[in-house]
Amino acid sequence: MNDYLGSSYLIWGVFPYVALTLFFVVPFIRMVYRPFGMSTRASGIFLGRDILGLATHLLHWGIFLVFFGHLAGLIGGILGWGAWVGAFFWMATLGGLAAITGSIIALARRIQVPEMRAMSQPDDYIVHGFIIAILGIAIYQALVHKIWGVSFTAAPWFASLWRFSPQPELMASAPLLTKLHVLLAFAFAAYFPFTKLIHAWTLPVNYLVRPYQVLRTAAKKFQNGWVMGCWEFKGVTDKSYMSYLAIGVLVVLGLIGLTLPGPSMDGLVQEAQATTMTAARSDAARSRPVLDGYPLYVSQCARCHGLEGQGDGPGAKSPTFAAVPRDLTAGHFQFISTSNGVASDADLRHVVVNGLEGSGMPSFSRLSERQVDSLIETVNFLWKGRPAPGERIQVPPRPATTAAMIAQGKQEYANQCTVCHGANGAGDGVLTKLRTDAAGHVIPPRNLRTEPLKGGSSPTQLYYRIAAGMPRAKDEWLMPHYANLGPERIWAIIAYLEQDILPPGQVANR
């Protein structure tokens, strides 16, 4: 929940402010006290100038592309514009590849050329370390993991910083590598003004106005005893462009964060439905502006399930997923507890809060109860022609396990389950290849010995899986339902699974 002292709040709600403050404020302080320090230390005078030229071009143009790519991703992510998020992907990947190449060449030259090595200071290496790590993680994620569209998730979180109402819960379900990428980038931003990279704030405009004026700044400083920045804002020296650039970036990011509206459902569902939904939401009293409903869906779900819920988000084909993201409009949900194969709100809620272990569907346990409710509402709107869910299957208390029960369970398993899951539960029964989900993807029976229980490992969830089965379409089953066996035999099967098939300790005692 939204605990204001929790580590996730410190990391996603406080740390970015510290980093951004350092990033924007330290350059001004340095400018006032040490104006001559605001440049790179020249290093082109040594061997390998051509190489350096190439590296510098790659690095600088790469960073430009990366920066503007991120700007596109920020705007597209907030507004729910898929094309802009796509542009972000290409610009950032190409720019990132160029920049990382430049950085690696420059670093190699620094290490290889003795004169360069002698002149290098720790920050020269640390800076390259940051650049290579930050870009490396993102490129690996984009090209190998194919985790695309994360800006739908990160942009609204970043915008919440500019609204001074940080929503750390939005980042909670982002992939680990994305979190690392973002945190490293903020750490780099905090460190940035203490390094030679501070010259970035004097670029590019001061190339047009050659900088002899630096002397004048210093002179004025002594003449007038000026207060920080007052001459600078009159545009007297080239360093003033630094102020303009810094303020410009702040204003642009601030405007984006403060003014852009969230995505809307118009056109996705019938208008009447959309209005009731919005009305219901604005009625709820709120202590702070928190993303919910369809905008929250776009931020948390669209990168996999798509903006319209068809399971075709930009990151849907990631090879890290064990199954493709479900087409929410068709509503063939598998992890259910009802008697007629139709997921209830409680079933959807269980999946959203807990995720599906090992499948790619993350857990959203940090969202507030109201936010989850609004997501379930959104899924119900996207789900076309939703049938009424049946009664929830009753789960009687679990009896204590006995040897006789395990033997009975073994017999039941051999009769009912071996065809698909195999005699030892390794997923190697005779019906291995026959099962496809509603979209036609082959879904092999689970290897119960090694693979996680996606739907949850509590005895109650296991009971639901066996009693309710796993539907693939209307009245069709990926795994049949066994409610007709009755509680005694179902508990016996669970006792046997726990004893002989599932990894030890897999069944949680909840």
Closest distance of CB 188 from ligand HEC, Å: 26
Angle at 82 between CA 80 and CA 87, to 5 degrees: 125
445 touches ligand HEC (CB under 6 A): yes
Contact indicator for 150, 175 with CB cutoff of 8 Å: yes
Per CB under 6 A, the segment of 126-134, 200-208, 243-251, 460-468 that binds ligand HEC is 460-468
Give 97 or 479: the residue with its C-beta nearer to ligand HEC: 479
Give 179 or 326: the residue with its C-beta nearer to ligand HEC: 326
| Inter-CA distances, 273 with 108, 286, 373, 416, 499, Å | 60, 22, 16, 44, 49
351 touches ligand HEC (CB under 6 A): yes
Closest distance of CB 324 from ligand HEC, Å: 6
When binding is defined by CB under 6 A, the residue of 120, 278, 340, 359 that contacts ligand HEC is 359
478 touches ligand HEC (CB under 6 A): yes
Give 105 or 342: the residue with its C-beta nearer to ligand HEC: 342
Closest distance of CB 416 from ligand HEC, Å: 4
Per CB under 6 A, the segment of 12-20, 89-97, 261-269, 449-457 that binds ligand HEC is 449-457
Closest distance of CB 275 from ligand HEC, Å: 22
300 touches ligand HEC (CB under 6 A): yes
170 touches ligand HEC (CB under 6 A): no
| Inter-CA distances, 352 with 356, 417, 456, 462, 471, Å | 8, 28, 12, 18, 18
Task: Provide φ and ψ at 175, rounded to 5°.
Answer: -60, 150
Give 106 or 298: the residue with its C-beta nearer to ligand HEC: 298
Per CB under 6 A, the segment of 106-114, 179-187, 210-218, 462-470 that binds ligand HEC is 462-470
| Inter-CA distances, 390 with 334, 339, 455, 467, Å | 14, 5, 19, 13
Contact indicator for 411, 405 with CB cutoff of 8 Å: no
470 touches ligand HEC (CB under 6 A): yes
379 touches ligand HEC (CB under 6 A): yes
Per CB under 6 A, the segment of 3-11, 180-188, 390-398, 475-483 that binds ligand HEC is 475-483
356 touches ligand HEC (CB under 6 A): yes
Give 482 or 491: the residue with its C-beta nearer to ligand HEC: 482
Residue ranges of alpha helices (H) inside 309-449 are 345-354, 369-382, 403-416, 418-421
465 touches ligand HEC (CB under 6 A): yes
Per CB under 6 A, the segment of 24-32, 73-81, 136-144, 450-458 that binds ligand HEC is 450-458
Q: Which residues lie across from 296 on neighbouring strands?
A: none
472 touches ligand HEC (CB under 6 A): no
Q: Which residues lie across from 479 on neighbouring strands?
A: 470
348 touches ligand HEC (CB under 6 A): yes
Cβ atoms within 10 Å, residue 140: 13
361 touches ligand HEC (CB under 6 A): yes
β-pairing, 476-479 with 470-473?
antiparallel
Closest distance of CB 149 from ligand HEC, Å: 9
Give 239 or 481: the residue with its C-beta nearer to ligand HEC: 481
131 touches ligand HEC (CB under 6 A): no
Structure tokens at 20: 């951004």
303 touches ligand HEC (CB under 6 A): yes
- Residues 221-260: x where in contact with ligand HEC by CB under 6 A, - otherwise, as a string: ----------------------------------------
Closest distance of CB 365 from ligand HEC, Å: 11
Structure tokens at 364: 């959203």
466 touches ligand HEC (CB under 6 A): yes
Whole-number Å distance between alpha carbons of 203 and 38: 11
Note the maximum CA span of the chain.
Answer: 97
Closest distance of CB 318 from ligand HEC, Å: 7
Size of the site for ligand HEC (CB under 6 A): 48
Identify whether 175 is preceded by a cis peptide bond (ω within 30 of 0).
no
When binding is defined by CB under 6 A, the residue of 321, 381, 463, 491 that contacts ligand HEC is 321
Residues 6+ apart with CB under 8 A from 76: 82, 83, 84, 85, 86, 87, 88, 151, 155
Give 254 or 487: the residue with its C-beta nearer to ligand HEC: 487
C-alpha count within 13 angstroms, C-beta hemisphere, residue 66:
20
Give 69 or 355: the residue with its C-beta nearer to ligand HEC: 355
| Inter-CA distances, 295 with 72, 156, 166, 281, Å | 18, 9, 16, 12
Cβ atoms within 10 Å, residue 223: 10
Structure tokens at 216: 């004048």
Q: Tokens 């340095």 — which residue?
A: 30
The one-letter code for the residue type at 460 is T
Give 110 or 410: the residue with its C-beta nearer to ligand HEC: 410
Whole-number Å distance between alpha carbons of 390 and 338: 5
Residue ranges of alpha helices (H) inside 113-200 are 114-119, 122-140, 151-162, 176-191
Contacts with ligand HEC, residue ranges (CB under 6 A): 300-301, 303-305, 321-323, 325-326, 333-335, 343, 348, 351-352, 356, 359-362, 364, 375, 379, 416-417, 419-421, 431, 435, 443, 445-446, 448, 453-455, 462, 465-466, 470, 478-480, 482, 493
